[in-house]
Amino acid sequence: MRIAREEVFGPVLSVIPFDDEEQAFAIANDSPYGLAAGIWTQNIGRALRGAAAMEAGTVWVNTYRAVSFMAPFGGYKRSGIGRESGQVAIQEYLQTKTVWIDMLGQTANPFVIR
């Protein structure tokens, strides 16, 4: 279904029938985009399974557009260009390096694990 495969930015509500939750998750993931997903359910187990199954950078359960500057925001697949906000966004600009310094002046045996 085309509406489920495209990245729609607008006030659109799609009602798509499905037989079981696995099929619902498959329909939601059958898209080259994955900015955000919404799950509306009273079943917390289904909500957690859906959040784990959704290929989206943000999953809202029984709410919409909850955001925080402390939480990373960004999409999966072809949605977005990485993460905004939160510690994860800062890590996008960092490069990790490990440095070992012998402060005791002793030459260590390089073949012994310390």
More confidently predicted of 103 and 39 = 39
Give the chain's mean pLDDT: 87
> What does the pLDDT read at residue 70?
85
Position 40 pLDDT exceeds 80: yes
pLDDT in tens, 89-98: 888 788 888 8
Rounded distance between C-alpha atoms, residue 70 and residue 104, angstroms:
41
Structure tokens at 94: 């960092």
Position 101 pLDDT exceeds 80: no
Is residue 102 included in any domain, yes or no? no
More confidently predicted of 79 and 88 = 79
Structure tokens at 12: 């659109």
Rounded distance between C-alpha atoms, residue 96 and residue 54, angstroms:
30
Is residue 7 included in any domain, yes or no? yes
Is residue 75 included in any domain, yes or no? yes
Is residue 21 included in any domain, yes or no? yes
Report yes or no: 85 and 72 within 8 Å, Cβ to Cβ.
Answer: yes
Domain range spanning residue 37? 2-91
* Number of domain units in the chain: 1
> Can you give the pTM of this predicted structure?
0.71
Rounded distance between C-alpha atoms, residue 110 and residue 114, angstroms:
9
Query: For residue 17, what is the domain's CATH number?
Result: 3.40.309.10
Is residue 26 included in any domain, yes or no? yes
**Which secondary structure element, helix H or strand E, spans residue 2, and what is its range?**
helix 2-5
